[in-house]
Amino acid sequence: MRIILASQSPRRRELLERMGISQFDVIPAKGEERSDPNLTPEQLVEALSRQKAAEIAADHPDALIIAADTVVAVDGSVLGKPHSREDAQDMLKRLSGREHTVYSGLTVCWQGRSVTQHEATAVRFRPLSQADIANYVSTGEPMDKAGSYGIQGYGCTLVEGITGDYYNVMGLPVCRLSAILAGFGIAPLAMAAKKEH
């Protein structure tokens, strides 16, 4: 069975390997993400992960496709990846000293069947000073991340606490993905066990 991760995110690749899935190809979806502004964050990430999966499945109909999309939401508005350093600073100011929610949509499709779900994790930031924000943006880390931070990098210094799946904040809710894969008869732990012998 061929497995394709429809994402160029190095974090998603690393998490898939951590789950025990070591043999997979990375083929990022190239299509323009189309989203309806009336969608809730949950609906949005599900719709975007479905789009990515469908695009790759069209070219690779026999492969099992795993697609994901992650956004940060605060006050009902969605924060994607920043367009500039100023944009990143503005996002971090909005997140400073308060809680926001990270949503990831997951779609797995194989053999004509498709399952889409989402995960939500609450993340609380400590109050950030102007210097905190400027220094963090200067590291360059926020520029390719939803909400302008990465919990697995220097961004860990901003996070006071989380409620929910930590890996979801990294962009791939591995526990939920394991459950979806189980529905397809695939057990990552069994793959990991086989690899160790």
Active site residues: 69
Distance CA 41, CA 131 (A): 30
Sequence-distant (≥ 6) Cβ neighbours of residue 12 within 8 angstroms: 5, 68, 171, 172
Sequence-distant (≥ 6) Cβ neighbours of residue 86 within 8 angstroms: none
If DSSP codes are grouped into helix, strand and coil, which group holds residue 194?
Answer: helix
Instruction: Give me Rg for the CA atoms of the chain.
Output: 17
Distance CA 58, CA 78 (A): 29
| Ramachandran assignment for 20, one of left (phi > 0), alpha (psi -120 to 50 degrees), beta (any other) | left
